[in-house]
Amino acid sequence: MKTLLHRIRIHRTRLAALFTLLALGLAAGDAAAVPSFARQTGQDCVACHIGAYGPQLTPYGIRFKLGAYTDSDGKDGKVPLSAMLLGGFTHTAKGQAEAPTDRTGTNNNLVLDQASLFVAGRANDYIGAFLQSTYTGADNTFALDNADVRMARTLDYGGTDVTVGLSVHNTPGMQDPFNTLPAWRFPYVSSSVAPEPVAAPLFDGGLEQHVTGLSAYTFINDSVYAELGTYRALPAGALDTLGLGRDSYPGKLDRSTAYWRLAYFQDLKKSAFSAGVFGFDTGIDPSGDGSGLSDGYRDLGIDAHYQFLGTREHIATVNASYIREHQSRDATFAAGGADNRSGQLNEFNLNASYTYDQTWGFTAGRFMIQGSRDATLYGDGSASGSPDSAGYVLQADWTPWGKEGSWNSPWANLRVGLQYTMYDRFNGARHNYDGNGSDASDNDTLYLFLWTSF
Amino acid sequence: MPKQRFSSVAAAGAAVLLVLAGAAAHAAGDPRRGADVFATECAECHSVKAGKDKKGPSLFAVLGRPSAANPDFVYSDAMRTSGIVWTAERLDAYVTAPKRVMPGGKMKYDGLADAAERADLLAFLAAQH
């Protein structure tokens, strides 16, 4: 349930101020996100994104990303800058026990979830970047968010295109071109002030923005995708400089930290699909100096997606992924943070969407987290020590622009959506999961959002 | 059951006739169906609105036009020096196998193998002027 887009909270007055700025920007007709990619390529948002709004990629968008964001219409003078605002109203079935931040109440919060600036575009024919920094109102910070700089070349081997590339990025999995891995999967946005389950595999957001990864990939004949990479934790000082906070240092990552990925993809024009496997393996030494014990994580996943594209009037997609995580918790156990030296945590995600006329979108998703009990590790929130959570996410959205001939294209895009998250299990139980009488469904969340980029 | 066998033969015959009729319609090219082919195969890179360039140049009134005739679009050298005029035959050949007709060109499209779909597509493009 962690998405990349849920870090930021801003008070109402700031919300108003930023929306005013946005309105001014639009009125000037001059705002430049990532419409900056649209401006660079001469393409409309729909070319790369299902339903005319990021981040769900079409086959064209998949190729653009793997081509290192370098494709262009051949004209100079494009400024690779974009901005994005995400704000919304969050209502939970029951008020939360404590207000999620000191600037919000326990329920019915209107907040600016995210205000981002992007440098997104090409440096030359082979190098391109997607860099996001995000303003957080709740703690009044400006921090580096998603960052991906890549270099790619496409070679022709007797008529077969072989793309080879390198990516330097700061969240494991964000470099993947499919919307099945945690970094870019549905729900693509979620409230920053809603309750969240206590557990998720490490690969699902556990290290986001706190590492530097280097991976090499190849995309052969538009069909076979393979990647190999490794990660290092950013030092505490660097995290501080980037606005993420010294205290968020995850510990030292083992030298053998590895990420691997293999996927098969087909673009049949009327439809497209992929199926793949991936793995993430690391040891984390919380002491940070390599002297202490480590916690080991071994994540193994499978994923698949299908898109019916047709004439693009009716688009349907299905995305699925399953991750099995094996944890060996030597460090946490020794420090008294867990009762068991090892454990299992598995995550299943499935969602299906329908988009009409690249404008009206409906998505239904199922998520399930299941793992072995540990009363100490999961004790903060789960009375039974079980990390199990499960539920559904339903979303309806409206994206009026981003298409050929749209108002202000390629300068602005907008999505308005209504999202409903329902839990049938939360932190181990349906009823009284925390020992204080809370039910899973108390956390059911209605999120009405306005998301714009320019 | 002979009666049933007969009806299945009739059904098969009718199906063959329908397919033949369909093929005949295709040979002429149906611009309405061609609009769908265009939406599926070309529209992410091309518009048929005059002056609207995307990744590829506007295909408004492309039939009969010399190649690389759009002054606002940055063509590949191969396209600029090809000397091709987009007659129905040349366009059909290009859409079938872009890389073969235009080595060194920059249209990243694998080609449309289905002749009937190409006929519909050409009928649609012929109507854009």
Cross-chain residue pair B44–A47, CB shorter than 8 Å: yes
Mutate to test the interface with B, among A40, A50, A157, A312 (most CBs of B within 10 A): A312
Contact A60 B40 (CB under 8 A): no
Q: Residues B40, B28: contact at Cβ < 8 Å?
A: no
Does B11 lie at the interface with A, CB-CB under 8 angstroms? no
Residues of B within 8 A of A405 (CB-CB) are 49, 52
Its CATH architecture, for the domain A2-453, is Beta Barrel (2.40)
- Say how many residues make up chain A: 454
Would you state the pLDDT for residue A78? Answer: 87
**Facing residue for B40 by CB, picked from A43, A47, A270:** A270
Q: Could you tell me if B47 and A404 are in contact, meaning their C-beta atoms sit under 8 angstroms apart?
A: yes
* The pair of three-digit structure tokens given for residue B129, joined into one six-digit string: 């002027």
Rounded mean pLDDT of chain B? 85
Cβ of residue A78 closer than 8 Å to a chain B Cβ: no
Q: Pick the residue from chain B with its C-alpha nearest to A403.
A: B44
d(C-alpha A15, C-alpha A111), whole Å: 7
pLDDT of amino acid A84: 92
Return the residue in A43, A154, A157 with the most chain B beta carbons within 10 A, the one to mutate for interface testing. Answer: A43
Contact B49 A405 (CB under 8 A): yes
A269 with B41: Cβ contact below 8 A: yes
Question: What pLDDT does A32 receive?
Answer: 28
Local structure of A129: helix, strand or coil = strand
pLDDT at A342: 97
Q: Which residue of A has its CA nearest to B45?
A: A43
> Options 3.40.50.720, 3.40.50.2000, 3.40.50.2300, 1.10.760.10; which CATH number does B30-126 get?
1.10.760.10
Strand spans (E) along A221-254: 224-233, 252-253
As a whole number of angstroms, the distance between CA A86 and CA A304 comes to 28
Q: What is the C-alpha to C-alpha distance for residues A307 and A295, in angstroms, rounded to an integer?
A: 38
- B45 and A43: CB-CB below 8 Å? yes
- Is B47 within 8 Å of A311 when comparing Cβ atoms? no
Domain positions in chain B: 30-126
- In three-state secondary structure terms, A159 is coil
Instruction: Say whether A311 and B40 touch across the interface (CB within 8 A).
Output: yes
What integer pLDDT is reported at residue A139 of this predicted model? 63
Query: Which stretches of chain A score pLDDT less than 50?
Result: 1-33
Segment B36-95, tens digit of pLDDT: 999 999 999 999 999 999 999 999 999 999 999 999 999 999 999 999 999 999 999 999
Q: Do A47 and B39 touch (CB under 8 A)?
A: no
Question: Of all residues in chain B, what percent are helix, strand and coil, respectively (each to 5)?
Answer: 50, 5, 45
**For residue B114, pLDDT beyond 50:** yes
pLDDT category at B27 given cuts 50, 70, 90 is low
pTM, entire model: 0.89
* pLDDT (tens digit per residue) in A144-198: 999 999 999 999 998 899 999 999 999 999 999 999 999 999 999 999 899 999 9
Q: What is the distance between the alpha carbons of residues A296 and A286, in angstroms, rounded to a whole number?
A: 11
Q: Which of B39, B41, B55 sits opposite A42 (nearest CB)?
A: B55
CB atoms within 10 A of CB B47: 21
SS3 state at A334: helix
Residue of chain B whose Cα is closest to the Cα of A161: B108
Q: Tell me the count of A-B CB pairs closer than 8 A.
A: 45
pLDDT at position B22 is 40
Q: Is residue B12 over pLDDT 70?
A: no
Torsion (CA) A25, A114, A354, A347 in degrees, nearest 10: 160
pLDDT recorded at residue A30: 28
C-alpha distances out from residue A80 to A34, A69, A83, A307, B122, Å? 9, 11, 10, 29, 37
